Amino acid sequence: MKFFLLGFLTAYLIGNCYLFYRFFTPLAGYPWPQRIGFALLYWAVAFALMAAMMLRDAGLPAPLMRGLFLVGSVWIVATLYLVLTLTAFDLAHWMVPALRHRLLWAVAVTGGLLLFGYYNHRHPRIVELELKIDRPIQGGEMRLAVVSDIHLGEGTGKEALKRYVELINSLGPDAILIAGDLIDNSTAPLHRERMEEELNALKAPMGIFLVPGNHEYIGGIERTKALLEKTKINLLQDSIVTLENGVQLIGRDDRSNRRRKRLDALYCSADNARPMVVIDHQPYELHKTDSLGIDLQVSGHTHHGQVWPVSLLTDHLYEQSHGYRRWSKSHIWVSSGLSVWGPPFRIGTRGDVAIIRLYN
């Protein structure tokens, strides 16, 4: 993770140096105060998200924190697509020297992609799955609503949460499973906006269950627990709960806790005659889930890269980077995330909520 973060920051810095050069060069004829002002503004925007993350618990005014987060997160994706489109137009210019205004064309194309990505982000898809399992369910079937990566905070606020709650409730689930990263980087915005009010509007007769994700640890796992005490959400942290219909939910702690229990240890604590559903935020070592004959595992974390071409990287890094797959013994669903981390865009990917009907 450290190497990935270092690589990301290095690439981001190089990309911004390149863009700064391309934007600054046309200003050569302007007075130096204007050029200095542009330079200061440019780098303030480039590092706005980092500032927002470092100051997340500093108690600064909410509008300032939201502004820093929004501007900085938007600029991350803008940097990616400006570099890609500028490179493409430069290559086109090399082949067609008459092509002019390459910088303006790159800005226009990037702006169009961001608008498209924002629309996609605001319209997550509903995925309906019907999965047959052998272990008996009392009543013969049940409906699970599965979401992940809501990332409540400065980027995903109370209004967005209200839309998500209405969407989930409209599916009529028997139980709701949240596969980690309910919060983003801090619980402070959730307390400030009283988001527990919306979380308590979730409806599922058999309960609402959450496992920790890496962002629960980034924001502070103890702070997360304190927040959840204001809600009817049940935290499963290396623990098992048996629903009234006999289905067992095996909730794993996140990999951020290096001392979390092994899956086979949790499996041995469960009743092998009853259905088993594993909730694990990060979809690693799925072959172990399959080898144990777990009926269903639900995960998240990957966001399927959130924007192309990062999605190509997640496809390479994970055994199953998103979506549904029937392994030899197990059903596995990896959510692309209901919301997003940081930039409010989905380009080449879609957010989702799954309604899974388990039946015999």
- pLDDT at site 53: 84
> Which tens digit of pLDDT belongs to each residue from 241-257?
999 999 999 999 999 99
Class of domain 125-359: alpha beta
> Which tens digit of pLDDT belongs to each residue from 93-145?
888 888 888 999 999 999 999 999 999 999 999 999 999 999 999 999 999 99
Amino acid at 85: T
Tokens 């498209």, located at residue = 116
Domain ranges of the chain: 2-121, 125-359
Residues 238 and 10: their CA atoms lie apart, in Å, by: 36
Read off the pTM: 0.92
Q: Which of 230, 269, 231, 266 is nearest to 251 (CA)?
A: 266
Residues 160 and 117: their CA atoms lie apart, in Å, by: 16
Amino acid at 202: L
Q: Is residue 214 a contact partner of residue 181, using CB atoms and an 8 Å limit?
A: yes
296-299: strand order across its sheet: 239-242, 248-251, 276-279, 296-299, 331-334, 323-326
With a cut of 70, say whether residue 1 has pLDDT above it: no
Q: Is residue 266 a contact partner of residue 294, using CB atoms and an 8 Å limit?
A: no
- Pairing relationship of beta strands 352-359 and 331-334 according to DSSP bridges: unpaired
Sign of CA dihedral 202, 204, 209, 213: negative
Q: Which of 339, 18, 298 is nearest to 152 (CA)?
A: 339
Tokens 């669903």, located at residue = 333
Q: Which of 302, 297, 309, 308 is nearest to 340 (CA)?
A: 302
> Which tens digit of pLDDT belongs to each residue from 296-312?
999 999 999 999 999 99
Question: What is the mean pLDDT of the segment spanning 221-243?
Answer: 97
Q: Is residue 280 a contact partner of residue 299, using CB atoms and an 8 Å limit?
A: yes
In terms of phi and psi (left: phi > 0; alpha: psi -120 to 50; beta: otherwise), the region of 100 is beta
